[in-house]
Amino acid sequence: MRKAGRHSRAVVAIAAAAVLGLAGCDTSGGDGAVRRESTAQAHPSPRPTPAWDRSPGSIAAVGDSITRGFDACTVLSDCPQASWATGSDTVVDSLAVRLLGVTGAARHSWNYAVTGARMADLPGQIAQAVPRKPELVTVMVGANDACRSTVSAMTPVAGFREQFQEAMDSLRAALPKTQVYVSSVPNLKRLWSQGRTSQLGKQVWKLGICPSMLGDADALDARAAKRRDAVQKRVEAYNRVLREVCAKDRRCRFDGNAVFDYRFGTGQLSHWDWFHPSRDGQARLAEIAYRTVTAKNPVA
């Protein structure tokens, strides 16, 4: 409100000056230059919105096991070379390779994601990425916030929002011009419906993979349905948070739920755990990210 008052007083002052200028012109035969100058000052040009750079020169990736390429090429192990964000695997054709080329990706992309990470870990990963001064930061996190031992153990939506906002604020304080690509959280209920077609997959899930959604995979009773629906609704709420927080930042692009909406099949799932993306699944994530980053306009 105070800013608005000062602006109004400035406009009044300028208008008064213009009136005095008119009076002077009437008596001295001036040519109206004062009027034109005053009008220009009264209506300053708005500051342009910074353009989105569709060809950033460096990339830092933060997030969880998906961005680490877990189980994409080696059983029960990270496989960063198959990461959708920064990997070198030719089958995946990562976002970094697509934007920077093979040599550029090797020199100017960094992966700070950690298997098992949740949103609460994001500020720490951002802090690691900041010294590199990346021109683009990719964010994919949230699946582990929903994949808990029980529904009640899932990260509350309010906490998820606070943690993501903290991460964005810390990034902005250090790197005000760095761009951010934010991926939606994958559709865990579709993962259950696809993966449960594999007897091997269901046996692996019993080891404790995302029990809130994948536990008792063959149970179709009302209680199991209610549990899975609760997890799905939480994921949808997380994605709304990602969209809303990102929308407040001029240099942030959310994928418009493209990852969540992608209708992946068993070919996009690792056949070691039927949960993480396979190399083909990683390639699909790279495609979505590249499409979002290089689009002329952000997703509505």
Percent of the chain having pLDDT more than 70? 83
**pLDDT surpassing 90 at residue 59:** yes
Q: How many residues does the chain have?
A: 300
The helix (H) or strand (E) run that includes residue 203 is: helix 199-205
- Once rounded to an integer, what is the mean pLDDT over residues 244-249? 97
Class for the domain spanning 59-294? alpha beta
Rounded to two decimals, the pTM is 0.83
Residue with the two structure tokens 């005095």: 20
Query: Distance of CA 113 to CAs 29, 39, 149, Å?
Result: 72, 54, 22
Check if the beta carbon of residue 269 is closer than 8 Å to that of residue 72.
no
Which 8-state DSSP code applies to residue 296?
A: S
Query: Distance of CA 118 to CAs 192, 240, 241, Å?
Result: 20, 17, 15
Q: How high is the pLDDT of residue 34?
A: 38
Q: How high is the pLDDT of residue 48?
A: 57
**pLDDT surpassing 60 at residue 15:** no
> Alpha carbon 10 to chain centroid distance?
41
CA atoms of 13 and 73, how far apart (whole Å): 70
Q: 34 Cβ partners below 8 Å, 6+ apart?
A: 17, 18, 21, 22, 24, 25
pLDDT class for 51, splitting at 50, 70, 90? confident
- In tens, the pLDDT along 208-235 reads 999 999 999 999 999 999 999 999 999 9
Higher confidence at residue 126 or residue 45?
126
Q: 233 Cβ partners below 8 Å, 6+ apart?
A: none
CA atoms of 118 and 142, how far apart (whole Å): 6
CA atoms of 109 and 95, how far apart (whole Å): 10
Q: How high is the pLDDT of residue 16?
A: 34
The helix (H) or strand (E) run that includes residue 109 is: strand 109-111
Q: How high is the pLDDT of residue 50?
A: 63
Residue ranges of domains in the chain: 2-42, 59-294
- In tens, the pLDDT along 164-194 reads 999 999 999 999 999 999 999 999 999 999 9
Query: Distance of CA 132 to CAs 66, 107, 135, 238, Å?
Result: 22, 11, 9, 28
**pLDDT surpassing 60 at residue 29:** no
